[in-house]
Structure 1
Amino acid sequence: MKKVEIFDPALCCPTGVCGPSVDPELTRMASAVFLLQKKGFDISRYNLANEPGKFAENEAVNKILHEKGPDALPVTLLDGEIIALGNYPTNEQLSEWSGINISELKEKKSVKKIDFK
């Protein structure tokens, strides 16, 4: 089984729903990672603000931070090899690596209506 590690820049939260504007890319990643973990796929995300030790422990990521600075983040590793720098993996890539159908990685819209009476 493949292992994916995503090293995020310093974020207040991984979902992107905090702060003045929502980042749809962070929301997509949070949803995809949650779904993949739920299905047993080996995928992890590390936030520079909350887990700086993970960045220091990983020689490749540490080297990138020293050479290019935090603007190079996010960094994605597949089985320990850097495969993406400065952007997140696509749902297509995640589907390919995990063997999970891409349709399962799409955000499902809630159809439940809320009654405010």
Structure 2
Amino acid sequence: MRIEFYEPPMCCTTGLCGPSVDERLVHLTEDLKRLQGEEPGLVVERYAINQRPFKFRDNADVYKLVTGNGKKVLPVTTVDGKVVKTRDYPSYDEMRAALNGGIHES
């Protein structure tokens, strides 16, 4: 299983640096650690558009969303390549449901 986050421009790979920390990213990091503890084979990848722009072309659905809507659609979250959330980070429960096949793009 793989969760990928296609994110807006960030100063570092986690977004947890800089003068003010985004609490959404703190919760996301905690939720991902919890999920990885529950799902040992889970792969998590994060791509900021300013650091890994070509990764956005690797997923046709993500590329279409970004080219059609601009950066306002970010972040985009995919599970096993399928878009499950746009415009915000998913909660733990949303990620858990997506991993179990229970949610689709919102």
**Shared fold per TM-score greater than 0.5:** yes
- Overall identity of the aligned pairs, in %: 34
Q: Which runs of 5+ in 2 are unaligned?
A: 101-106
Letter in 1 for 2:72: D
What do you get for the CA RMSD once the two structures are aligned? 2.1
* Residues 23-76 of structure 1: per-residue CA shift (max 9 Å, x gap): 110112223334444633133221112111101221111111111001110001
Partner of 2:9: 10
Q: What's the CA shift for 1:94? A: 2.3
Partner of 2:23: 24
Distance 2:24 2:48 in 1: 15
What secondary structure does 2:54 align onto?
helix
Does the alignment pair 1:90 with 2:91?
Answer: yes
User: What does 1:93-112 correspond to in 2, within 5 Å?
Assistant: 93-98=94-99
Distance 1:51 1:94 in 2: 23
Structure 1 residues 97 and 63 mapped into 2: Cα distance closer, same or farther (>3 Å)?
Answer: closer
Distance 2:26 2:13 in 1: 8
Is this contact kept in 2: 1:6–1:45, CA < 8 A?
yes
Is this contact kept in 2: 1:14–1:30, CA < 8 A?
no
Partner of 2:72: 71
Distance 1:85 1:91 in 2: 15
Partner of 1:59: 60
Structure 1 residues 34 and 45 mapped into 2: Cα distance closer, same or farther (>3 Å)?
Answer: farther
TM-score normalised by structure 2 residue count: 0.75
**Structure number, greater radius of gyration:** 1
Distance 2:71 2:47 in 1: 13
Is this contact kept in 2: 1:5–1:44, CA < 8 A?
yes
* Higher deviation after alignment, 8-17 or 71-80: 8-17
Letter in 1 for 2:12: C
